[in-house]
Amino acid sequence: MTHRKIKKQKNMHRLYGLKILKSNHPQMRSLKRSGHVAEIHGHKVWNASYLIMDYLKKHPLPKRTRLLEIGCGWGLLSQYCAKNFNCRVHGIDADRNVLPYLQLHAEINQVRMTAEKRSFKQSTKDFLSNFDLIVGSDICFWDEMVSELFNLVVRAKKSGVKQVIIADPSRPPFHALSERCQEKFARVEVIDKRISRPVKLDGDILIVR
Ligand SMILES: C[S@@+](CC[C@H](N)C(=O)[O-])C[C@H]1O[C@@H](n2cnc3c(N)ncnc32)[C@H](O)[C@@H]1O
């Protein structure tokens, strides 16, 4: 009889087929020691990203979709799309300190992901025209973000982006953004989404087509 030892990894979570390192993982500690400390809440993977992963299980993306993740943090949502739908993924974030954590997770998840420091406002029509799909999770939490994101969506639609998907745990600025998109665009859906795993979560997904 063979006995297979199941070794629990104490410094890593496994969710949606992705590895997510805990802060006590040696490589995470080493990044923190070298001074990479997130400044705009990009210090972890936020739960709203699981709302989109769950939605995409039932609404798969076309293969090789050119995907841009805005306010990407560690980029796990992009890495999920690269792994499951063979998307080409790029992330932008206003905080350069999140980028080493993103690259570390791309490596451990064996995904090719590019990323750069760039804000919502700096995402020009020219830049956005390189993508088919824009995704973002938990990126509309301050009032000033409403106009910045609304203007980004307007530029994205003008530059040929087919779809924008943004998830949120239903904060007031996100609702303001959804209302502005509903007034401006014809094909907008706001989905009330609940998941019970890996966490219990009730939130919304805004989709602009
Ligand atoms: C709450 S975290 C969410 C991170 C990631 N999307 C997730 O779900 O795990 C918000 C992220 O948005 C970034 N961010 C905030 N303001 C931004 C802006 N104006 N332009 C681009 N990124 C921004 C932050 O640096 C941070 O990484």
Give the model confidence (pLDDT) of 24-49 as tens digits.
999 999 999 999 989 999 898 999 99
**How far lies 22's CA from each of 14, 102, 171, 206, in Å?**
11, 13, 26, 29
Closest-CA residue, ligand 1 atom 12, reads 71
Q: What are 9's two structure tokens?
A: 């990894």
Residue 158, in any domain of the structure:
yes
Q: Which residue has the higher pLDDT, 4 or 130?
A: 130
Whether the CB of 119 sits within 6 Å of ligand 1: yes
155 within domain boundaries: yes
Phi, psi of 106 (to 5 degrees): -60, -40
Average pLDDT score over residue span 98-108: 98
Q: Is 66 left (phi over 0), alpha (psi -120 to 50) or beta?
A: beta
- What average pLDDT does the structure give for the chain? 94
What is the residue range of 194's domain?
Answer: 12-208
Whether residue 110 contacts residue 137, with contact meaning beta carbons closer than 8 Å, is answered with no
Residue 142 lies in a domain: yes
Residue 202 lies in a domain: yes
Cα(151)–Cα(137) distance, rounded to whole angstroms?
17
**Closest residue by Cα to residue 16 from 90, 66, 85, 62:** 85
Give the nearest ligand 1 atom to 119 CA. Answer: 20
Q: What is the pLDDT of residue 10?
A: 83
Total of domains in the chain = 1
Q: What's the mean pLDDT in 176-195?
A: 97
Q: Does residue 73 line the site of ligand 1, with CB under 6 A?
A: yes
Q: Is residue 2 part of a domain?
A: no
Q: 174 alpha carbon to ligand 1 midpoint, in Å? A: 14
Of 65, 49, 46, the closest CA to residue 16 belongs to 49
Asked if pLDDT for residue 2 goes beyond 50, the answer is no
Whether residue 30 lies inside any domain: the answer is yes
Beta carbon of 79 within 6 Å of any ligand 1 atom: no
- Whichever domain contains 94, its CATH number is 3.40.50.150
